[in-house]
Structure 1
Amino acid sequence: MSTAIRIHDLAHPELTDIQRAAIAYGEQQQIDFSEEAVLAAARERTGLADFGPEDFRERLQLLLDEWGHDPDMTGSQRANLFGYLVRYASNRLLIQDQWQRHPEILEQEIRQPIIVAGLPRSGTTHLLNLLAADTRFRSLPLWESYEPVPLPGEPPLPDGGDPRYLRCEQAWEGMQQVTPLLAAMHPMHPDHIHEELELMGPDFASYNFEWLAPSPRWRDHYYQHDQTPHYQYMRDVLKLLQWRQGPDRWVLKCPQHLEQLPVLQAVFPDATCVITHRDPVAVIQSAVTMVAYGYRMGRKRIDTRAVVEYWSDRVEHLLRACVQDRQRFPPEQSIDILFHEFMADDMATVAKIYETAGVELTVTARAQMQAFIDAHPRGKEGKMVYDLKGDFGVDPAALRERFSFYFEQFPVRAEQG
């Protein structure tokens, strides 16, 4: 039996001693939250200076302006976000250096990837990790997504391990100290197979920044600009990773793809697109609970109503785009997966995906996936209990009416609780 987890203090967090100490420490930090400080730190960290095309600076500056002038952001969160931006700028330098020194990288082909698109909290993570258990595929573990290229001259650890892995492991351990319930909602250990969206970070692109802190200006900028160049950038980073280490058929996933299906199809024309479908209300209550819980370390005050309104709008935008553009991927290259069917029999779902993608589901692949299932039983870290009405003041049935256009298009099962 999984332990039930119910968070009662989302709006008014009851902080632990560790959480209070971390927030207090963050308030003592003096952060130069400027473009030059970010880029200088990246140059110092890598010893490199060529960032490639300069258009990224506008996007970096937008993030710095929006986050830097947020009066409700804690010092701890501002320091954390500065670290994110320095890591992305460092990765940009390292990636650009590899492309310059090894032009053959860009001659690589990304052939027939299997790409999962679906709402956050709709089974995409479990599905991706299940597919990635098949070692015939190339996938993106979290530690590699955070640092795609090693730092110049950095030696292996004494035990032969990769220092990038250790840094990711230490970050996960620190996250568990200050937000211990996150593991039950979204595990982030180093071997966890992650979203390729992270590879747009060095181009300072994607909707990922919206998950890190309230970013409505960033969202509007994202809406107003063609995302094709950023998908191409991500594809070329995949080429770099593939060049460094195969195999060369990828399994990928990201919820953002739902609202970028034409771009996804243009950049990966021979991809098999797997779209997961779940009751949007179940998705929203899970997502906003996770976001609001994380905000206890990042926000001086938490407006739970604003959180649910923002993410209800984002989910609607994702789904309206999906309904509009779903047919961009032809039937022979795409498949729709219903959440309740996937949860009832995940291996049967995998078999359908393999049939669509033209991949043999071998005995070895089945065994590898079963080993993953056995090692990651549902509810291993506990089972979250949600209360959309009690915590966010939103009636689930009324919210569900907002998504009637989606239920009319796909046979999604409404969920209770």
Structure 2
Amino acid sequence: MSNDIHIDDLAHPVYSELQQSAVDYGKTLTVELDRQSIMAEAESKTGLSDWGPSDFLPRLDLLCDEWNSDQGLSGLGRLSLRNKLLQHAISRLLIQDQFNRHPEILAVKIERPIIVAGLPRSGTTHLLNLMAADSRLRALPLWESYEPVPLPNEGLLEDGTDPRYQRCSDAWDMMKMMTPHLAAMHPMNPEHIHEELELMGPNFGSYNYEWLCHSPRWRDFYFSEDQTYQYEYMRDVLKLLTWQQRDTDLPTRWVLKCPQHLEQLPVLHKVFPDATIAITHRDPVSVIQSSVTMLGYGQRMSRKKVETTKLLDYWTERVQHLLQACANDRDKLPAAQSLDVPFHQLIKDDIGWVEQIYKKAGLEMTAQARTELGQFVDAHKGAYGKVIYDLKGQFGADPDQLRENFNFYYDAFPVKRVRG
């Protein structure tokens, strides 16, 4: 039986009974997307009121204002965005409370992390999750990235499960029912290893918001700022996570990844000066068609209409920016601490490439590590099926013509052009 997945209703969704019921429910919602209601609810849920430095307020206001003015959002889309901002607001209060009560957290060292950078959909997720299978390295599971600090007075469930894990698991189950092909494009199960940019969320930062909703005003604001302070906030939350597990046998050397790093390489190196940085490289047209298909599929629930043309235009330009910044700044990383990983070679010998990364990082590829990595590979072969992409049929774009926008990138890096 073929595991191929053809999404033949991308632009004009055909809803299941469950999906239609959810869409109809969304039409009945009145969703407050404003700073005051979000902050008030966060304070109520945590019993806390110290937000730390107030510089986040204009950023929260900008997001609320931009999304409030978006007439294309469905009721469910507005609710999802508000829930994300609320989640970040709650985490900010909890994180600040920990910093206030335990100033020793900031003395924790994040030493010699291994960090993956690369375009979305370019093998970064697989490479991160593969290295996370090495029991000598610490990684960030999705459930912990969403809620880095437990709610006050919230203990484990009767079966010993962390309620943060259970909330993440419940959300994933619901997502699979509403958008069942997402598992094939980007698994979001609670133990899945996630991106550390989520830890910038409580500071209302990162390009992550662009993935949640069409946000050109947010993008331009993000471009206008030196992002060092956001990376420092993320680093400090990593310190908090390390400190919270100080009495366990968890390792303290982190393995991380985020596509945003491509356009922030100097900042990344400044904040993590002893990091080993591995940069994946894949044909950007393959990345774009995968990304816009995934986003378009999600829009059937979050927007009143799937906007294929807007998605393609926005993310073509966005990928260009990421890659141009990488081309401009790649040589600013120390050669002894960085390497380029071509996607077409990574998929043929992923463990071999991990071994090359480990050599740069001064980490031996032991027999146990090789076994752990091999077990991960075996367990995740074809786990969710394969999405068949159709850039021309679904988005009206000729792949070869689109590639002309990226000649600078093909010339600068070991990228294999995928014709057609």
**CA shift at 1:10, angstroms?**
1.4
SS in 2 for 1:135: coil
1:2 shift after superposition: 5.1
Distance 2:102 2:16 in 1: 49
Instruction: Between 19-28 and 147-156, report the one with greater CA deviation.
Output: 19-28
The equivalent of 2:85 in structure 1 is 85
The answer to whether the 8 Å contact 1:261/1:322 transfers is yes
Does residue 400 of structure 2 align to residue 397 of structure 1? yes
Does 2:242 correspond to 1:239? no
Distance 2:218 2:32 in 1: 20
Q: Deviations over 1:35-86 (max 9, x none)?
A: 1100011001111101100010100010100111111100111011111111
8 Å contact 2:117–2:278 — kept in the other structure? yes
1:74 paired residue number: 74
Name 2:297's counterpart in structure 1: 293
Further displaced range: 367-376 or 24-33: 24-33
Aligned match of 1:213? 213
Question: Mapping of 1:145-184 within 5 angstroms?
Answer: 145-184=145-184
1:132 paired to 2:127: no
Residues 2 and 380 of structure 1 are in contact (CA less than 8 Å); yes or no, is this contact kept in structure 2?
A: no
Query: What RMSD over aligned residues (CA atoms) do the two structures have, in Å?
Result: 0.9
Q: TM-score of the superposition, structure 2-length normalised?
A: 0.98
State which drifts further: 402-411 or 7-16: 7-16
CA–CA distance in structure 1, aligned partners of residues 193 and 392 of structure 2: 33
| Alignment partner of 1:414 out of 409, 413, 417 | 417
Partner of 2:21, secondary structure, is helix
Question: What residue in structure 2 maps to residue 227 of structure 1?
Answer: 227
User: In structure 2, what is the Cα distance between the partners aligned to 1:322 and 1:201?
Assistant: 23
Q: Is the 8 Å Cα contact of residues 400 and 419 (structure 2) preserved in structure 1?
A: no
* Equivalent-residue separation in structure 2 for 1:303 and 1:166 (angstroms): 33
- Aligned to 1:42, what secondary structure does the other structure show? helix
Distance 1:407 1:148 in 2: 39
Between 73-82 and 2-11, the greater mean CA deviation after superposition? 2-11
Instruction: Name the amino acid aligned to 1:289.
Output: T
Aligned to 2:370: 366
The answer (yes or no) to whether the contact 1:73–1:300 under 8 Å persists in 2 is: yes
Which one-letter code corresponds to 2:374 in the other structure? Q
* Inter-partner Cα distance in structure 2 for 1:144 and 1:298: 25
**Residue equivalent to 1:60:** 60
Q: CA deviation at 1:15?
A: 1.1
Task: Please give the alpha-carbon distance, in whole angstroms, between the structure 2 residues aligned to 1:279 and 1:224.
Answer: 28
Of stretches 21-30 and 89-98 in structure 1, the one that deviates more from structure 2 is 21-30
| Residue in structure 1 matched with residue 201 of structure 2 by the alignment | 201
Aligned partner (choices 332, 338, 348) of residue 334 of structure 1: 338
8 Å CA contact 1:277, 1:337 repeated in 2: yes
Question: Does the 8 Å CA contact 1:143/1:165 hold for their aligned counterparts?
Answer: yes
Query: What is the rounded CA distance, in whole Å, between the counterparts of 2:384 and 2:351 in structure 1?
Result: 22
> Residues 114 and 185 of structure 1: is their aligned pair in 2 closer, same or farther, counting only changes over 3 Å?
same
Letter matched to residue 321 of structure 1: A
SS in 2 for 1:402: helix
Q: Which amino acid aligns with 2:416?
A: R
Counterpart check, 1:249 vs 2:253: yes
Aligned residue for 2:109, secondary structure, equals coil
Match of 1:269, as an amino acid? P
- Which whole-Å CA distance do the structure 1 matches of 2:315 and 2:88 have between them? 25
Q: CA deviation at 1:416?
A: 3.8
Give SS of 2:8's match: coil
- Contact persistence 1:2–1:383 (CA under 8 A): no
- Which of 352, 357, 361 is matched with 1:357 structurally? 361
Which whole-Å CA distance do the structure 1 matches of 2:2 and 2:147 have between them? 34
- Deviations, residues 126-148 of structure 1 (Å, cap 9, x unaligned): 00000000111111000000000
Cα contact 1:273–1:335 (8 A) shared by 2: yes
1:388 aligns with 2:391: yes
Matches within 5 A, 1:22-37: 22-37=22-37
Query: 2:43: which partner in 1?
Result: 43
Q: Is the contact between residue 2 and residue 381 of structure 1 (CA under 8 Å) also seen in structure 2?
A: no
**Change in 2 beyond 3 A, CA 1:113/1:2:** farther
Q: SS of the counterpart of 1:403?
A: helix
- Which residue of 305, 311, 314 corresponds with 2:309? 305
Q: 1:376 aligns with which of 370, 375, 380?
A: 380
Unaligned runs of 5+ in 2: none
1:346-404 CA-to-partner distances (Å, cap 9, x unmatched) read 11111111111110011111111111111111x32111111111100110000001100
Which AA in structure 2 matches 1:231? Y
- Post-superposition CA distance 1:71-110 (Å, at most 9, x none): 1100111011111111100000000000010000000010
Question: Given residue 92 of structure 1, which amino acid in structure 2 is its aligned partner?
Answer: R
String of CA shifts for 1:271-296, please: whole Å, max 9, x gaps.
Answer: 00100000000000000000000000
What does residue 325 of structure 2 align with? Answer: 321
* Distance in 2 of aligned mates of 1:70 and 1:314: 20
Q: Residue 303 of structure 1: CA displacement?
A: 2.0
* Deviation by residue 1:157-210 (Cα, 9 ceiling, x = unmatched): 001110000000000001001000000000000000000000000000000000
Unaligned segments of structure 1, at least 5 residues: none
Aligned-partner SS, 1:413 = coil
Secondary structure of 2:383's aligned partner: coil
How far the C-alpha of 1:155 sits from its partner, in A, is 1.6
Task: Give the corresponding residue for 2:286.
Answer: 282
C-alpha contact 1:34 1:64 (8 A) present in aligned 2: yes
In 2, distance between residues paired with 1:262 and 1:124? 19
Q: 2:119, 2:259 within 8 Å by CA — same for their partners in 1?
A: yes
Q: Which has the higher mean CA deviation after the structures are superposed, 227-236 or 298-307?
A: 298-307
Distance 1:3 1:383 in 2: 6
Q: Which residue type is aligned with residue 210 of structure 1? A: E
